[in-house]
């Protein structure tokens, strides 16, 4: 986290050529406030506090990993104890142009008056008691005793409680600096006794400049695009960016190129991701499939491809809202130019839907047993659905077209099959959800209308004069679900040609009602109204047929001839009663409807 022109950490100066290699994150660790990058607010607050003498007894530093919490704590300890050999500095200061008496030992974590403790491995109350016991004694050589506790949120509740009194009223010679990545896990009683500093993520363009200067000091050639990839992958963490730079230098073994960094990180080619986005925006599924498969074949992870795609969607959206976002040098020239072009052509509605579908799709791909196939299905959904109109826009299109089907923007119209014009709707009635609707004589409630078939596709008009004929018609159309629902779940209240009023059984499916009018209209060629009534209605056809079969069975068992047969075959019983009858016009109609039961609801015994 050194500044652009700052020298390396003094603990690395003069490193001999035969000395063991020190990673960049340690070699270029800042040693003063002047060398910190991206934390201007912290530096300004501490500087003003030191100049006015308003130095608190405790600080707590929070932020994501790698933004410099521990480093800032050491710099604070150095500033509190900065002292020149000639005694020219009389108190704490943020201006430390040269190494003081205690600076080298403090930055190397070996000063006896600056105690560093990792709370992740020292979580108990006994560790805090040792600090409470030692804090009473004056420093051996420095101006202040400074206690740096890293990952302080890992302390136990008892340890925090043991700290409270000492933290609130420490000796004048003691200062505390806490660091944590989980500030919400620190008790408020501790937070209230500390000055809190939130260390922010470092911007990608600042990280790029920082990495470029370090690469120059290391005599490493690196492409600007590669720097941008590393800066974005670090997500604001300086330590992560230096670790990735270290890895990229070793991976490239020469000039660090963008392609080598992508290969190292398992990222897809940014240009190819943009091409994939372009194919999806145009609705070209074949081209999107080819592009995705090409990236997959060269080793790109499907989850990474979708994540990069989502990142580019976010970038285009930000460019559309704030055009100056495209000037960020952390993104390549190709990304910025094409993002401006997409932002001017693609609506916010399309971008929002693509983002939502990608977020959901990434989760699905992570849980899928075949990630590549799952990713392809996500691409299909994006291409076919992302540019459809919203419900409000669809209603406006319907109103503007006079009831015609809405035409989606972009490639949806070309991909969609021609839609038939929407004709007038037939009302369907549903039971009211109000408690008063369950009494006798309550007025039924109208449900959503069901679209009627277009005149061009209308079937020839077929007369149906009874409920049983309607049931038989469902059997002829091989609609088993509808036939079963009409027979077993619905009780007839009133029947007129084109109008059916029924009562529902308690376990009947309510969703079936909305489909009945549409199906009846398709089958008969005329409009139907289906009403759900609160009246009792007639018994269901299934119960009537069952009762009739039981009655016929009892009648047959009472016949002397049947009783004689049953007596000769112990254990035998009457299962079914059938009567053979000559063919009549009514049975012919039965055959026409494709049902085993005659239209009058009987089981055939009366024929």
3-state SS of 459-523 is: CCCCCCCCHHHHHHHHHHCCCHHHHHHHHHCEEEEEEECCEEEEEECCCCCHHHHHHHHHHHHHH
Nearest to 534 by CA among 557, 502, 559, 561: 502
User: Among 58-72, 401-415, 539-553, where is mean pLDDT lowest?
Assistant: 401-415
191 pLDDT more than 60: yes
Calculate the CA 393 to chain-centre distance.
Answer: 25
pLDDT score, position 483? 78
As a whole number, the mean pLDDT across the chain is 77
User: Among 8-17, 197-206, 409-418, where is mean pLDDT lowest?
Assistant: 409-418
Q: Determine the Cα–Cα distance for residues 551 and 561; give it in Å rounded to an integer.
A: 17
pLDDT score, position 389? 63
Question: pLDDT tens-digit profile of 514-531?
Answer: 677 777 777 888 777 887
- Is the pLDDT higher at 252 or at 444? 252
H/E element holding 206?
A: helix 204-217
Where do we find the tokens 């800032």? 72
**425 confidence band (pLDDT: 50, 70, 90):** very low
Q: What percent of the chain has pLDDT over 90?
A: 6
pLDDT score, position 598? 45
Nearest to 472 by CA among 547, 541, 548, 552: 541
Question: pLDDT tens-digit profile of 249-294?
Answer: 888 877 888 888 877 876 666 788 888 888 888 888 888 888 888 8
Question: pLDDT tens-digit profile of 131-163?
Answer: 888 888 888 888 889 999 998 999 888 989 888
291: number of Cβ within 10 Å = 22
- Domains, the chain: 31-198 (3.40.50.300), 270-385 (1.20.272.10), 425-538 (no CATH), 542-593 (no CATH)
pLDDT score, position 317? 92
What is the DSSP pairing of strand 445-446 with strand 429-430?
A: antiparallel
**456 confidence band (pLDDT: 50, 70, 90):** very low
- Is the pLDDT higher at 462 or at 213? 213
Question: pLDDT tens-digit profile of 67-122?
Answer: 888 888 988 998 888 888 877 777 788 888 888 888 888 888 888 889 888 888 88
What DSSP assignment string belongs to 274-329? HHHHHHHHHT-HHHHHHHHHHHHHTT--HHHHHHHHHHHHHHHHHHHH-GGGGG-T
Q: 26 and 108 in contact (C-beta within 8 Å)?
A: no
Task: Measure the CA angle with vertex 596, ends 590 and 598; round to 5°.
Answer: 45
Nearest to 477 by CA among 523, 511, 518: 523
pLDDT score, position 432? 38
pLDDT score, position 412? 41
DSSP one-letter code for 583: -
pLDDT score, position 266? 67
Q: Determine the Cα–Cα distance for residues 537 and 535; give it in Å rounded to an integer.
A: 6
The arithmetic mean of pLDDT across residues 35-59, rounded, is: 85
Q: 409 and 390 in contact (C-beta within 8 Å)?
A: no
Alpha-helical runs (H) found in 505-607: 513-524, 541-558, 560-568, 585-593
């Amino acid at each position: 986290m050194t500044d652009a022109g700052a020298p390396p950490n003094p603990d690395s100066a003069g490193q001999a050529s035969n000395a063991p290699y020190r990673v960049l994150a340690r070699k270029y660790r800042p040693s003063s406030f002047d060398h910190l990058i991206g934390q201007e607010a912290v530096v300004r607050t501490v500087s003003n506090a030191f100049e006015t003498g308003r130095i608190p007894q405790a600080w707590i530093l929070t932020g994501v990993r790698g933004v410099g919490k521990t480093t800032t704590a050491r710099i604070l300890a150095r500033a509190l104890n900065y002292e020149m050999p000639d005694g020219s500095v009389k108190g704490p200061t943020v201006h430390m142009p040269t190494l003081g008496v205690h600076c080298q030992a403090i930055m190397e974590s070996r000063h006896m008056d600056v105690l560093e403790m990792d709370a992740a491995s020292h979580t108990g109350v006994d560790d805090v008691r040792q600090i409470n016991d030692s804090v009473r004694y004056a420093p051996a050589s420095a101006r202040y005793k400074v206690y740096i506790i890293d990952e302080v949120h890992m302390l136990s509740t008892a340890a925090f409680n043991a700290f409270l009194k000492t933290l609130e009223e420490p000796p004048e010679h003691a200062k505390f600096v806490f660091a944590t990545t989980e500030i919400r896990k620190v008790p408020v009683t501790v937070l209230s006794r500390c000055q809190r500093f939130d260390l922010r993520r470092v911007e990608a363009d600042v990280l790029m400049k920082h990495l470029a200067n370090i690469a120059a000091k290391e005599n490493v050639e690196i492409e600007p695009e590669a720097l941008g990839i590393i800066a974005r992958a670090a997500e604001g963490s300086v330590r992560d960016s230096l670790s990735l730079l270290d890895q990229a230098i070793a991976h490239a073994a020469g000039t660090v190129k963008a392609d080598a960094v992508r290969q190292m990180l398992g990222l897809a080619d940014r240009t190819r991701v943009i091409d994939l986005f372009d194919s999806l925006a145009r609705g070209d599924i074949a081209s999107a499939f080819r592009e995705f498969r090409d990236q997959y074949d060269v080793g790109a992870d499907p989850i990474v491809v979708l994540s990069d795609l989502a990142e580019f969607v976010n970038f285009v959206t930000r460019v559309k809202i704030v055009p100056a976002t495209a000037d960020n040098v952390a993104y390549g020239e190709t990304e910025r130019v094409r993002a401006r072009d997409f932002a001017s052509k693609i609506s916010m509605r399309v971008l929002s839907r693509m983002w939502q579908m990608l977020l959901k799709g990434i989760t699905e791909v992570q849980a899928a047993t075949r990630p590549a196939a799952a990713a392809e299905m996500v691409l299909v959904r994006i291409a076919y659905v992302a540019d459809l109109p919203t419900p409000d826009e669809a209603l406006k299109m319907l109103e503007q077209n006079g009831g015609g089907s809405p035409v989606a923007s972009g490639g949806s119209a070309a991909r969609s099959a021609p839609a038939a014009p929407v004709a007038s709707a037939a009302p369907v009635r549903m039971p009211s959800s109000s408690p008063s609707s369950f009494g006798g004589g309550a007025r039924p409630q109208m449900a959503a209308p069901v679209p009627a078939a277009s005149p061009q596709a209308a079937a020839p008009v077929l007369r149906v004069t009874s409920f049983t004929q309607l049931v038989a018609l469902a059997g002829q159309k091989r609609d088993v679900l509808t036939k079963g629902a009409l027979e077993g779940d619905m009780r007839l209240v009133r029947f007129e040609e084109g109008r059916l009023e029924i009562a529902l059984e308690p376990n009947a499916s309510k969703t079936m009602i909305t489909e009945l009018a549409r199906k009846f209209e398709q089958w008969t060629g005329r409009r139907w109204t289906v009403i759900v009534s609160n009246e009792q209605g007639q018994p269901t056809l299934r119960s009537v047929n069952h009762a009739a079969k039981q009655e016929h069975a009892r009648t047959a068992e009472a016949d002397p001839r049947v009783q004689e047969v049953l007596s000769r075959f112990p254990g035998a019983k009457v299962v079914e009663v059938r009567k053979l009858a000559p063919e009549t016009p009514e049975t012919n109609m039965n055959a026409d409807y494709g049902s085993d039961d005659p239209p009058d609801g009987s089981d055939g015994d009366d024929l």
